């Protein structure tokens, strides 16, 4: 039985070599000219449908254009006052309800630009926008006059009641 398997294995190897060699000879053999012509035609086809990749010198120019020590508004237009009053996030769309420059609030989708304000990302509590002066993150809620606004309530507003305690036993 072992002898029959050995002779079949040898015959299978010889048959594979013969079939492979025949296929190689039919498809062009060592010349392979048919594939060479196809490759030459493919190389000649223009692939300039995509944007050219940025060069390292472009990245260097962008980096050199950034200010070194903070942001100065001298000679530039001041940022528009922006107020975020609403956010909508669905699987298909994300939009922010923004009031730009004191105008009535309007819905602006991600990637949309209105009055020089481009909405880049919308999260659950804030929006990142791009203006002429750079990127800003605007948070949902009432706008304060300055980021260092005090935490005290406005005049006339009562504070929370004192914590309740158990009645005293006398």
Domains assigned to the chain: 82-139 (2.30.30)
110 contact partners, CB below 8 Å, separation of at least 6: 93, 94, 95, 119, 120, 121, 122
Give the pLDDT confidence score for residue 120 in this predicted structure: 93
User: Per the structure block, which two tokens stand in for 35?
Assistant: 């594939």
- What DSSP designation does 96 have? E
- Please choose, from the candidates 89, 82, 80, 81, the residue with its C-alpha nearest in 3D space to the C-alpha of residue 125: 89
Give the pLDDT confidence score for residue 118 in this predicted structure: 92
Give the pLDDT confidence score for residue 150 in this predicted structure: 53
Residue labelled with tokens 């949902």: 140
Give the pLDDT confidence score for residue 49 in this predicted structure: 52
**Block mean pLDDT (10 aa), the chain, length 170:** 75 89 76 66 62 62 68 56 88 88 89 91 91 88 52 71 75
Under 8 Å between Cβ of 101 and 81: yes
Give the pLDDT confidence score for residue 128 in this predicted structure: 93
């Amino acid at each position: 039985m072992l002898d029959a398997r050995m002779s079949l294995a040898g015959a299978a190897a010889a048959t594979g070599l013969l079939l492979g060699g025949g296929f190689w000879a039919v498809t062009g053999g060592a010349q392979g000219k048919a594939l060479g012509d196809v490759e030459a035609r493919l190389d000649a086809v223009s692939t300039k449908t995509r944007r050219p990749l940025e060069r390292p010198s472009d990245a260097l120019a962008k980096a050199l254009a950034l200010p070194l020590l903070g942001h100065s508004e001298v000679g530039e237009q001041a940022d528009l006052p922006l107020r975020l009053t609403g956010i909508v996030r669905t699987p298909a769309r994300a939009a922010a309800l923004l009031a730009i420059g004191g105008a009535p609030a309007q819905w602006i989708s991600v990637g949309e630009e209105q009055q020089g304000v481009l909405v880049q990302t919308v999260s659950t509590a804030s929006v990142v926008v791009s203006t002429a002066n750079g990127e800003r993150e605007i948070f949902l809620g009432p706008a304060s006059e300055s980021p260092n606004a005090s935490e005290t309530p406005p005049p006339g507003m009562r504070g929370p009641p004192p914590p309740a305690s158990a009645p005293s036993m006398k």
